[in-house]
Structure 1
Amino acid sequence: MKFMRIRKQLIFIVLGAFVAGGIIGWALSSNEPEAGESIEHDHSGESVYTCSMHPQIKQEEPGSCPICGMDLVPLSNLSDNNNTNPYVMTMTPEAVALANIATSAVKAGGTAGNGLSLSGAIEADERNVKAVSANFDGRVDDLFVAFTGQEVKQGQRLARIYSPALIAAHRELVEAKKSKEISPRLYEAAKQKLKQWQLTDAQITKMEKEENYQPHFDIYATTSGVVTERKVASGDYVSRGQVLFEITNLNKVWVMLDAYEHNVSQIDTGDEIRFTVNALPSEEFTAKVTFIDPVISQDSRSAKVRAEVRNAAGKLKPGMFVTATVEVDQGEATGVLVPKSSILWTGKRSVVYRQVGSDEKPAFEMVQVELGPAVGDRQQIMTGLSLGDRIVTNGVFAVDGAAQLSGKYSMMAHPEKQHFQVSDRFGSVLEEIIVAYLNVKNQLVNDESGQPAAGDLHRFLTLGMEDGLKEDASEQWEESRKALEKTALAMNQTADLEKQRALMVILSNEMITLLDAFGTQGIGLYKDYCPMAKNDQGAYWLSEFKEIKNPYFGSDMLSCGEIKGEYQQQNTHQQNGRNSGHQH
């Protein structure tokens, strides 16, 4: 009986397991899709992350930009599809916080003060650099200057040279002296020959008294100072005129400062400067401005300002960095003042980003401004801003990068200028200029010198063809032509490929300005951009190919870059009127 009872319990357990399995199977099968039914996945949580400074960097997870190290932000946070104004960039509060964007109100101009801050470096006075040369052929048997940087006094012995030519001249002098009474002219000629080799009267007198021909002759310092270059070693053979040493007197040095273009007019010769050097931060020096470079650098848009300072104690050494304040009369500031960090400079254009949104929906408008003089760490704005405006003072590059990503106007992707009406002759030469520029670009793409093509470009730019242009078009053409001509000439005069590529940045910016004004004369072009060019500052160039071919890196990074704009294939000869873009 007991066995039958256990057997019935087992049967009930097995039946219960089958029933439970059936229920679970039905529940699972009811949730499976039927044949042909698609399965929907929720992608709402997925994002693409990018760098606001280097928009070509994209990845599917957060991280840091491999180029600049900035935190990546979601691309969706930077997109701005709702605002149709190409000057206004709308961002989310999260994107503003991630990019560490801060704003501040512009201040009234008031009195500009009397201090203009400049930076630069200590340099040797070029007038106090003396070369000690070999005045005769020979062999360096002894050096008495062991290392560069050694201090020497005027008249100090620097080297001893064995010279067969001088031995022969010594012999001639001794023999001529013996017949001095009979042939005084021969004696004087022998002495004059030695004087032409820069031997002193004392050396010549000593040679006259020595019957044994001395095999060695000494080289002496012609000035006191520091040996800044030693160009020979013991045992070297030297020829007449060869430089053996360079000696620099550092009792007086130059303070070379960089003054930006808009500040140069405020500085005059004779102005006093006060400066410090990093090596002696607690000590202040004074000097007077003695020279202002008449030429503005095309790369930095600045001019060199030189001051002279006495350095008897030798505290100031060439190469030291300098922070200086120039005492100038800046008068009354008629505009408003903003921090220098808020301004983006791009050639002739300067822009700031003005806050036009709210905290819940931040928005920033790109505004082109006219600069006045600098006032310490602030900059006068003559036009473009008003009191009460708030502008971006920190994170301005992040806003500009977000604008580029969203297809808005930005520092470099600015609205095209009007196309001027031009003649067929003007258009034909302009086509030649474009082709010559493209030849320069293609040479650099192929890692070849752009010198010949730059020469052709320079030649086309010197052709007189402004006849028939209206006054404003003629002014625009002449301004662009001069800048292009100067850059093309500089490129044609250097064989250094890296210098040519640096000049290519300037050449491309000026070509873009020219084509924005006059069109491409039927030639279709792409405006390409590489964020890593010019030491990661970024640079544009024009190309006839849709495929990226980078002239700034050539074969090393041929495909680095992206298309930022396009010039359509349309002929602009004899246009009626102009197409004007949005102006601020």
Structure 2
Amino acid sequence: MRTLACFMLTLLLAACSTKDASHQHAHTAEAPAAPAKYTCPMHPEVIQDGPGKCPVCGMDLVLKKEGVALMLNESQMRLANITTQPVSMQPVGQTVSINGKLVLNEEGSSVISSRAAGRIEKLFVKETGRAVKKGEPLYELYSETLLTLQREYLLAKEQYETLGKDHPRYESFLKSAERKLLLYGLTQNQVNKLATTKTFAERVTFVAPTSGLVTELKVAEGQYVAEGAPLFSIENVNTLWLEAETYPQETALVNVGDKIAVRVSGYESTPVEATVMFLSPEYRANTLITVLRATLQNEQNTFKPGMQAQVLFTHSSRRALALPSDAVIRDGSGAHVYVQTGARTFEPREVKIGLENFMQVEITEGLAEGDTVAVSGAYLLYSEIVLKKGGDPMAIHQHE
């Protein structure tokens, strides 16, 4: 009887165990898996739970792969100088570049000559290539003529102060003597100082009448010069000329008055604008070329004559989704950009590019109008992901 009871208890426990295991297996099988997400390659904002067609363009949806997010703090954003820009429709075209050179604007040339015969006592500028500002001392001159004119001025001033109230003609004598000094190159401040101190200067300092670059020095200290002898050549470099030679297929892309982009050697990242002012066809070695001349503003004296430059002509423009060239990162996996997905959060996204010029890149796939991407600092984001993830961002993206 006891043996039968033990056998029945064993069967009951086995049945309970089998029931529990079956219940657990059924519970596990019933756990729903996370649904796969599908998106459109052309319109990544379109996301669905299953395959199908894009409601915008009709393309087949593809499996959406999770990206590699990179979150920065405010300090990192400032240090990396990261700026963002929304993707927008812009005119994009192909770019043709031709070589050119910056030369002096001959319209800004001036020659400094001696106003009086005398001896050069001192040169404040002793080398060419130096920039001078208007009013800066250039040289000191000892001149008997200037000494005589200063004495005449002081005499006329004394007569005017003594007899001017009773004889008005002495005022005209004083003004005539002052005008002579100004015509001989003295400044108004020098004349005022002579009137105040009543002491003539044996050496007269002459200053630069204009700002520019000293391109020629024709005198030395101690040299005697005649009246009108050339001493300095000064070129105004606030504007420069860009000169380039174009062939017929390139000449067709530009007209007088057009604004053209110029990339100066050493400053390739910041193209400047120039205005075409001259196109002259010439025959050289049985080949028709056109000499192009454009005016380039240089108020900060950033550029110097003789610098090499490239002229950029853009043609076959069309409106398309475009980004600045610096926003697109190219590596062995293709091209990708960094899309801002949240506050200070960026994710690499693979894109396909079309037309490209020096400034812009057309985006044919991977982005939608209005998406915000990193422009400056994109390469720093690329480096940060490589350091943190230990590999290429897009390779990691595809693997995940």
Structure 1 length-normalised TM: 0.34
Whichever of the two has the greater Rg, that structure is 2
Q: In proportion to residue count, which structure has more strand?
A: 2
Which structure has more RCO (C-alpha within 8 Å, separation ≥ 6)?
Answer: 2
